[in-house]
Amino acid sequence: MKDDPRSHGLWEATAPLPPRTATLTSAIQTDVAIVGAGFTGLSAALHLASEGVSVAVIDAADIGYGGSGRNVGLVNAGMWVMPAALEGELGPVYGPRLLKLLGEAPALVFDIVQRHDIACEAVRNGTLHCAAGSAGLKDVTERARQWQALGAPVRLLDADEAARKLGTRAYRGALLDLRAGTIQPLAYARGLALAALQAGALIHTDSPVSELEDTGDNWRLHTSTGGTVDAKWVIVATNAYSSAKSPWAHLRGELVHLPYFNMATPPLDAALRESILPQRQGAWDTRLVLSSFRFDQTGRLIFGSVGALRGAGAAMHHNWGRRALGRLFPQLTGIDFEHEWYGTIGMTSNALPRFHRLGRNMISFSGYNGRGIAPGTTFGRELAQFVLGQSREEDLPLPVSPIAPAPLRSLREFGYEAGSQIVHMLGARI
């Protein structure tokens, strides 16, 4: 995608072709303009178009170009923070409401996949949150307790049972969440786009929005390609890939960018595949500079961590990956990677997403903190229901937040990238 093999890697190589779209070069009118063709924007478009609303999605690049097409593909419930923390952060109304919504979010993803027959390698066997050391075990034990108190189908595994499900004895235990699973994320984004188009939506790619004009009754979005969109409502769904040149550049300022990379082995033989994640859960661990691993449908093991595959980081993270993979799974020692790619996660100050009113009839969710698939899909539906008048602002899962620049943003972003290089330069040496 965009001639960069490190942007989407394996996902670009194995996803079905995207539906045909065109650059916007003319003037169009629609009920709702959506900026951003990722999970949130495409889900909103699908839900709006399915209700007969005219909707146009405008993206500066391609369908799934941002985090939606680059991530690990874990469809998880909740957020990174502990379930009980949501009420502390959001209060007794929004905290439980958001927790319930995000607990049910994976079900919405898999329902959409089934209903629209999206070919995205969907596997709903759960995910495993792996306990690294005693601190990690304490973390997943408390997470299990909190989710179980809410009736969630999660189970705490001891070291032996975790080893049987993972294929490694590197962890002290794991939290199995049966609500969750894995997908091929770029394939899912393209499938959402096709479903939205079939429902009547328009999608224009390679059409950056360069100017916003208030015409009184409507908003007029000007693209740098010479097109315009007139719409009563605008949904901004650009998240971590909000452009500094767009009318919503301030959305970028509230997010600290965390780089994350993935590397994929060649397809493994049957014996190796059976020795690792035999039930095909996706997995990630509790380390500060975490690792994640999962299979695709052809038997490639996808291994990822924090870091950017550019400059000195490209070789450093690659070499770390080979060492770390061999330590986790000695039977894979010497196996190299055939695909490598990376992207950006938008982090907020409290690790929770934000709902913004950007103007009259102009709304946005952003800040998924590494949990974009299920929350993004769900928030897209919530935005659609709000635009349709099926819910009120006070019914939304988050209160309106002001856009506040992240303190020391540039320094923290440098720290994430440089810090991950240091950790990986020193880590997993056998």
In a domain, 55, yes or no: yes
Which run of H or of E encompasses 40? helix 39-49
> Which amino acid would we find at residue 353?
P
The dihedral of CA 149, 150, 155, 157: what is its sign? negative
Exposed, middle or buried by CB within 10 Å (0-12, 13-18, 19+), for 4?
exposed
C-beta of residue 77 within 8 angstroms of C-beta of residue 179: yes
Q: How far, in Å, CA of 284 to CA of 404, rounded?
A: 31
Q: Assign residue 160 a region: left if phi > 0, alpha if psi is -120 to 50, beta otherwise?
A: alpha
CATH number at residue 358: 3.50.50.60
Sign (positive or negative) of CA dihedral 144, 145, 149, 155: positive
Q: Residue 24: inside a domain, yes or no?
A: yes
- Assess if residue 137 is contained within a domain: no
Residue 367 lies in a domain: yes
Q: How many domains does the chain have?
A: 1
Nearest to 170 by CA among 324, 360, 351: 324
* CA torsion, ordered 246, 250, 221, 380, to nearest 10 deg: 110
pLDDT at 428: 63
With H, G, I as helix, E, B as strand and everything else as coil, classify residue 8. helix
- Quote the domain boundaries for residue 359: 15-71+186-256+349-407
Task: Looking at 200-348, list the stretches that DSSP marks H as alpha helix, in order from N- to C-terminal side.
Answer: 249-253, 270-275, 312-328
Residue 244 is classified by DSSP as: T
| H-type alpha helices, 71-200 | 85-103, 105-115, 133-149, 159-166, 185-199
**The pLDDT of residue 142:** 98
Write out the chain's pLDDT in tens, 430 residues.
777 889 999 999 999 999 999 999 999 999 999 999 999 999 999 999 999 999 999 999 999 999 999 999 999 999 989 999 999 999 999 999 999 999 999 999 999 999 999 999 999 999 999 999 999 999 999 999 999 999 999 999 999 999 999 999 999 999 999 999 999 999 999 999 999 999 999 999 999 999 999 999 999 999 999 999 999 999 999 999 999 889 999 999 999 999 999 999 999 999 999 999 999 999 999 999 999 999 999 999 999 999 999 999 999 999 999 999 999 999 999 999 999 999 999 999 999 999 999 999 999 999 999 999 999 999 999 999 999 999 999 999 999 999 999 999 999 999 999 999 999 998 765 4
The answer to whether residue 235 sits within a structural domain is: yes
Tokens of 116: 């629209």
Domain assignment of residue 143, yes or no? no
Cα separation of 69 and 60, whole Å?
14
Name the residue type at position 195: A
Edge to edge, the sheet with strand 154-157 lists 154-157, 173-177, 127-131, 282-285, 291-295, 301-306, 256-264, 339-347
Name the pTM for this structure: 0.97
Any idea how long the chain is?
430
Residue 199 lies in a domain: yes
d(CA 75, CA 106): 6
84 within a domain of the structure (yes/no): no
